[in-house]
Amino acid sequence: MKDEFLPLFEPFDLTSGVQLRNRIVMAPMTHTASHLDGSVSEVEINYYVRRARGIGMLITGSASVMANGGFPGSATADRDELIPGLRNLASAVRSVGAKAVLQIAHGGHKCPPSIDDIVGPSSVPEPKEGAIVPRELTAEEIPGMIRAFGEATRRAIEAGFDGVEIHGANGFLIQQFYSPHTNRRDDEWGGSRQNRMRFPLEVVDEVRRVVELHAKPSFIVGYRITPEEAETPGITMDDTLALVQALVLKKLDYLHISQTDMWSGSQRANGDTRPCIEIIKEHAGNLPIIGVGSIRTAENAAHALQAGVPLIALGRELIMDPEWLKKIAQGREEDIKTKLAKTDQLQLEIPDSLWGVIMRMPGWFPFETEA
């Protein structure tokens, strides 16, 4: 192995005291391979385990905290009867040495039409053609929604996960509450930035309360954010930095910055054209950052570590090549697979459901050119 790649294999200590064996994390990605009742399938366990071997931590795709917050084919954590399947998943991932983290989420207005009761902070639909207008949550319902994140955390603890990631990114419900575009409320849950921040912070407080009651001190709690929104009004970098500074006080284990390209510059930071992740890191203090997006090669990952990003998440890269990190360790980084072939599905153990999405979305994954 080349010396320049040695930092990728250095252990990393999280705030809770958990040590990750290296700096590589599997990013949460939707695979739609769970059973339709939200229970974990053997297919998704095999898919995850194949990619967990060798990496430091695996974050699952989003698991809904309520029945009206998920997506067909995604796992849910909204009732106790699902704990055995979640336990099988956590045990399988941990058996190959990776820390297992369950991402907990509610989709809000992003949920599909098959959901009977699509809700949001306000009656603002997702910005796409044919989107359903969500029902505005009443003030009386919101505390129950917050408690649902706590209950999902309890189930993750009972299932043996090493931690949870609170999904406050990608336009899901938590982000919808913080966004001035989707939150048009005029009560204590909306209006001012402080009021819009209340829901995300109370979710964090509830998750931490449950962890203190039911888990060991080493239980991981992370939070995922999207730095900016395109809409006006929408989340700006100033909004994000205010939230980051509030999250720093919550003593989280990490902050996961969700971007298509890790080095994307800010479009809404008052003339500061530095990458969003660089601006956020400057305000995050000792809160560790996970960077994700277009880290395709060993050189890309090593550069990110040198730039001060301590943890690197890979999504599509680990789907295309589950041995991504192993090849670097063996000095075979030139052999890392960066394109799919149309015959790859079986040997890469990609679930039929995910493979179908890949095939229906040209450009999402690069494919080898057929001769």
Cis geometry, peptide bond prior to residue 143 (ω within 30 degrees of 0): no
- Which tokens in the block code for residue 351? 């679930």
Q: Which domains can be identified in the chain, with CATH numbers? A: 3-360 (3.20.20.70)
How do residues 192-239 score in pLDDT, each as one tens digit?
Answer: 999 999 999 999 999 999 999 999 999 999 999 999 999 999 999 999
Q: Are 210 and 153 in contact (CB under 8 A)?
A: yes
DSSP character for 295? -
Task: Report the percent of the chain where pLDDT is more than 90.
Answer: 95
* Residues 325, 51: Cα–Cα separation, whole Å: 10
pLDDT in tens, 107-160: 999 999 999 999 999 999 998 888 999 999 999 999 999 999 999 999 999 999
Could you tell me the pLDDT band of residue 371, with boundaries at 50, 70 and 90?
very low
For residue 370, pLDDT beyond 60? no
Q: What is the pLDDT of residue 329?
A: 97
Query: For position 128, what pLDDT does the model report?
Result: 87
Average pLDDT across the chain, whole number: 96
CA 365, distance to chain mean position in Å, is: 19
The pLDDT score that the predictor gives to residue 109 is: 97
Predicted structure pTM score: 0.97
Q: What is the CA radius of gyration of the chain?
A: 20
Fill in the DSSP letter of residue 105.
Answer: E
pLDDT tens figures, 308-321 = 999 999 999 999 99
Residue carrying the six token digits 């005029």: 186
Cα distance between residue 334 and residue 67, in whole Å: 45
Question: Given the DSSP bridges, would you call strands 12-13 and 19-20 parallel, antiparallel or unpaired?
Answer: antiparallel
DSSP three-state, residue 58: strand
Measure the CA angle with vertex 231, ends 227 and 234; round to 5°: 55
Which of 160, 162, 175, 46 is CA-nearest to residue 109?
A: 175
Q: What is the three-class DSSP state of 369?
A: coil
| 280-309: average pLDDT | 96
